A and B are shown apart, each in its own frame.
Chain A
Amino acid sequence: MSINPQNLRYSKEHEWLSAPADGVATVGITSHAADALGDVVFVQLPEVGAAVTAGETCGELESTKSVSDLYSPVSGEVTEINQDVVDDPALVNSAPFEGGWLFKVRVSDEAGELLSAAEYDAFIAG
């Protein structure tokens, strides 16, 4: 059984992307990525209104052991950031697919390399 929700798509940098509603999709990191990071203590997100580009860094996640870049899985304009996760970064660990979402983006372009849940399962199984 996969822990990766079927209704999401995934990047090889371990971000997930929801199906867009009215052109706006939600972005977060997967539980696989959150487990690998350990306790997340600080998230730096792009600003609302900022343009993000598929496959390029748009923020960072600090954990006890390391800092990791946050990559945008699609191109577009940031419409909202999750203030809850800024205030309480532990949400990334406790609810990566739900309350730990990171930002919403009005999608202008998909790089076309996003994976289905089954493909991502296979990817992380290596």
Chain B
Amino acid sequence: MSQPPRHTALDALHRALGATMTDFAGWDMPLRYGSERDEHQAVRTRAGLFDLSHMGEITVTGPRAGEALDYALVGHLSALAVGRARYTMICAPDGGILDDLIVYRLGEQEYMIVANASNAQVVLDAVTERAAGFDGAAVRDDRDAYALLAVQGPQAPGILKSLTDADLDGLKYYAGLPGTVAGVSALIARTGYTGEDGFELFVAPGDAERLWQALTEAGAAAGLVPCGLSCRDTLRLEAGMPLYGHELSTALTPFDAGLGRVVKFDKPGDFVGRQALEAAAEKAAASPPRKLVGLIAEGRRVPRAGYPVTDGSGAVIGEVTSGAPSPTLGVPLAMAYVDAAHAAPGTAGVAVDIRGAQEPHRVVALPFYKRER
């Protein structure tokens, strides 16, 4: 049954800016404002401003909040320092990935989970159910409590500094602190999904427009432009970052996705999926299944999600999960799951079946792009 799309607090502003909108996980979101390649380059070289209010926030509070999250998620969240963030996952009992998450520890007894829009309900339901056995851990649906704006790119720190007294220099990557930006109360986090330095700002929806305008004005001289989800996808692809529904799914464990490091077997207590994930870890070590690799096209046709990867003669050895023309490298790129025998960087003869033609591709290690620090 299809529901009417949801609109973020910045919807009127996007329309006034002439954005091309798209349905994304039930939300009407900006796909691009002008040229998505220009937006991509702005983030790589200057700064871009994103509305990410579709992301789903879930707050867990109480003296046993950390313990409940250790049980509900695969990470060791009770060990996370206050003010820090962690990339983690929530798995089904069979080890399949329900979602990938960022968890912020906002206080001794307060955590915020940020889930993908498409999975937010699943994550909320699972965390609520799994935390139910912990007296002293309360789960709150905060999806409507926040708008989320992101400022990403090398100029992002300078732009944000002009609007806040918060100690941004002391704010490390994957850390977050409460502060005031342009007179608006915000959780300021040094996170992103672009491969660049940058910040994500969680604010009350009623403050979103004021903050957007302040960032637009403060960033104008530095070349900040509004950016849509289209360039966000090519930015994360170049940075080799997985996207749920593409590189991650319920059919895969974190080990299948090459992200076994997020599973913390040595944390105290049991957690959902432990047994299945231990088996998955052993299997991945003994006989690696398909591996997630990077592919760079030799030609100009673009490998797209779902296209078969072949050994060049047509025998299928894998599948493309994400693909796009790369604005930074100027060639088509893809991430793909490929049989371990063909997954080593430099493996010869690998092709992608692009609508019937075997187009040669080079196997490379991820990421395709890494910023200079």
Provide 26 A-B residue pairs closer than 8 Å at the C-beta atoms, listed in order of the A residue: A35-B20, A38-B35, A38-B36, A38-B230, A39-B35, A39-B37, A42-B300, A42-B301, A42-B302, A44-B301, A62-B300, A62-B301, A62-B302, A62-B325, A62-B332, A64-B36, A64-B37, A64-B230, A64-B234, A64-B324, A65-B230, A66-B304, A67-B301, A67-B304, A67-B355, A93-B35
CB interface residues, B 342-362, toward A, < 8 Å: 355
Q: How near does chain B come to A74, taking the closest CB pair, in angstroms?
A: 24
- Is B54 interfacial (CB-CB < 8 Å)? no
- Per-position 1/0 for B233-275, Cβ under 8 A of A: 0100000000000000000000000000000000000000000
CB interface residues, A 4-44, toward B, < 8 Å: 35, 38-39, 41-42, 44
Task: State whether A42 touches B325 (Cβ < 8 A).
Answer: yes
Taken together as a complex, chains A and B put the C-alpha atoms of A93 and B20 apart, in Å, by 15
Residues in chain B near residue A65, CB distance under 8 A: 31, 36, 230, 324
Q: How near does chain B come to A43, taking the closest CB pair, in angstroms?
A: 9
The 10 A-B pairs at the shortest CB distance, nearest first, are namely: A41-B325, A42-B300, A39-B37, A62-B302, A64-B36, A39-B35, A38-B36, A39-B36, A64-B324, A64-B230
- Per-position 1/0 for B139-162, Cβ under 8 A of A: 000000000000000000000000
- Is B84 interfacial (CB-CB < 8 Å)? no
Q: How near does chain A come to B303, taking the closest CB pair, in angstroms?
A: 10
Known: A38-B35, A41-B300, A67-B304. 9 other contacts (CB 8 A): A41-B37, A60-B301, A62-B300, A62-B301, A64-B37, A65-B230, A67-B301, A67-B355, A93-B35
- Is B32 interfacial (CB-CB < 8 Å)? yes
- Per-position 1/0 for B321-336, Cβ under 8 A of A: 0001100000010000
Taken together as a complex, chains A and B put the C-alpha atoms of A110 and B44 apart, in Å, by 48
Taken together as a complex, chains A and B put the C-alpha atoms of A64 and B300 apart, in Å, by 12
Task: State whether A38 touches B302 (Cβ < 8 A).
Answer: no
Residues in chain A near residue B325, CB distance under 8 A: 41-42, 62, 64
Q: How near does chain B come to A38, taking the closest CB pair, in angstroms?
A: 6
Please tell me the size bucket of the interface on B: 10 to 19
Residues in chain A near residue B304, CB distance under 8 A: 66-67
Q: How near does chain A come to B325, taking the closest CB pair, in angstroms?
A: 4
Q: How near does chain B come to A71, taking the closest CB pair, in angstroms?
A: 15
Q: How near does chain A come to B39, taking the closest CB pair, in angstroms?
A: 10
Task: State whether B302 touches A41 (Cβ < 8 A).
Answer: yes
- Per-position 1/0 for B2-32, Cβ under 8 A of A: 0000000000000000001000000000011
Residues in chain A near residue B32, CB distance under 8 A: 38
Residues in chain B near residue A62, CB distance under 8 A: 300-302, 325, 332
Residues in chain B near residue A35, CB distance under 8 A: 20
Residues in chain A near residue B234, CB distance under 8 A: 64
Q: How near does chain A come to B232, taking the closest CB pair, in angstroms?
A: 11
Task: State whether A67 touches B302 (Cβ < 8 A).
Answer: yes
Q: How near does chain A come to B21, taking the closest CB pair, in angstroms?
A: 13
Interface hub of A41, A42, A60 (most chain B Cβ within 10 A) = A41
Taken together as a complex, chains A and B put the C-alpha atoms of A42 and B331 apart, in Å, by 10
Residues in chain B near residue A38, CB distance under 8 A: 20, 31-32, 35-36, 230
> Which single residue of chain A is at the shortest CB-CB distance from B22?
A65
